[in-house]
Homo-oligomer: A and B are copies of this chain.
């Protein structure tokens, strides 16, 4: 971690994204038949870093890591759950949003990556509703402020207690001189379609809005008297459950702990290995293909559970990306490599497609979709390296299309008798993994050349050699062994010499051609503005609002509009 990173609490040596309900300090997950309750009850002393308390159900990254874990388990461990009731375990407060002391002292890089992860987690709630018919009801008792209301905004239905005090608010602008950065500004006008002038009033009203106006202005869906609360929640749960087609068994599969070893320069998982070169500022992520053919049946897949290759490798890759994002800020480039039998990798795509209607196959495909989207918004240069012995086929080939550029070796290497590198497309590359823009990576890649997309589509399930992959437009460069090492070395050295900020901005603009969605708006427009504001003295300077918060002193602002 960077030298001025703040000290992790409780003796932790890194930010760890692996957890399970038995270790939660901030959330309670309870499941009964088709309904779950997810209760936020933040432990004040459970902050991720030293130096602040998580009062009033405010949160930091550690709180959100538990939420993300719970959401994942609701998909895999509780496939019968149709409705999740999100509520607060504290009286008089639903959630006070991101912890302000944490925001005031955190490094810029940590803060930005914290917001990115919280955004991904809220998107995961909407993903559950859209693709697994697992819906979230939010019961707002007390105040839902800032990130607290943004959490509610990610649910399907917001119930607000009408007790004269419960309210929703986005007080960031008046109170802290920053933006509601977890999708709030986007969701109020684009998801809830609040009128923009109402939104202007709402976002500049520190105390927020309650009662009938919250309904009139589309901020919440239902106003409920305190005395009728449980009855109305129950009725709403039954109504939502009745409309959901989610039909998994009561018991899903256990998301067992990741098999994971951290070394000084490595992280080693079952099928994923990360090598970290801090001098070159490069991490190499190698994914190993499966050791056996896919299961013979859906039942056998369920039996394997978290050990089923596509699921295990997706979870490992996700953890590796999150680790690098949040613990290794100076690593500028991620090199993706694979090792294994491409035909066998492709056979898993065939198996998952054949079992498409099975709840577990369905969840695995959607997990891969989310992991790949996480890679898309990872602000590191992404490079795919395709060499003999690699297995970039189908799902794994998406890493090539997620990469900023890709290099493929032509032919064999001297003294290496393995067959030349191949790239293999499967049906999965043509629909299973839409990006945040709603298009597949290949459709985005070939926006200007729809014929090329069709030509590639006609070459599915064929081992494409480097020349053909280049001709089809699937890789950036196909190189002979003579040029390979020098070209790659020069590229990586040059890349490492560029400004990290300029690369982040460039990649964020080049990766998402084509349509925009609420999701791309959140990661592009909203996030970019928030990052800008997080650099401005008016927010983070010694006299800025974040530093002055709670001091009783007014912030000192530079009044120039930019």
Query: B-contacting residues of A (Cβ < 8 Å)?
Result: 2, 107-109, 112-113, 172-174, 176-179, 185-186, 188-190, 192-201, 203-204, 218, 281, 329-332, 379-380, 403-406, 444-449, 473, 476, 494-495, 498-511, 513-516, 520-521, 524-526, 528-533, 535-536, 538-539, 545, 555, 557-562
Would you call A190 and B513 a contact (CB within 8 A)? yes
Interface pairs A-B: 10 shortest CB-CB: A193-B448, A516-B516, A528-B528, A177-B499, A189-B513, A185-B509, A505-B529, A524-B525, A329-B560, A532-B532
Question: How distant is A301 from chain B, measured CB to nearest CB, in Å?
Answer: 35
The quantity of this chain's copies bound in the complex is 2
Other CB < 8 Å A-B pairs besides A281-B559, A379-B562, A501-B536, 12 of them?
A173-B503, A173-B506, A176-B502, A179-B509, A189-B513, A193-B448, A195-B473, A499-B545, A501-B533, A502-B533, A531-B562, A535-B535
CA A559 to CA B504, docked complex, whole Å: 12
Would you call A330 and B561 a contact (CB within 8 A)? yes
CA A501 to CA B557, docked complex, whole Å: 9
CA A200 to CA B508, docked complex, whole Å: 11
Would you call B330 and A108 a contact (CB within 8 A)? no
6 A-B interface contacts by CB (under 8 A)? A177-B498, A179-B502, A195-B473, A197-B404, A200-B405, A204-B495
Q: Which residues of B contact A379 (CB under 8 A)?
A: 561-562
Residue in chain B with minimal CB distance to A475: B197
CA A503 to CA B177, docked complex, whole Å: 8
Q: Which residues of B contact A531 (CB under 8 A)?
A: 528-529, 532, 562
Given that A192-B448, A197-B476 are contacting pairs, would A330 and B560 also be in contact in the complex, using a CB cutoff of 8 Å? Answer: yes
Would you call A505 and B524 a contact (CB within 8 A)? no
Q: Which residues of B contact A562 (CB under 8 A)?
A: 108-109, 112-113, 329, 379, 500-501, 504, 531
Would you call A530 and B555 a contact (CB within 8 A)? no
Q: Which residues of B contact A172 (CB under 8 A)?
A: 502
Residue in chain B with minimal CB distance to A378: B561
CA A508 to CA B196, docked complex, whole Å: 11
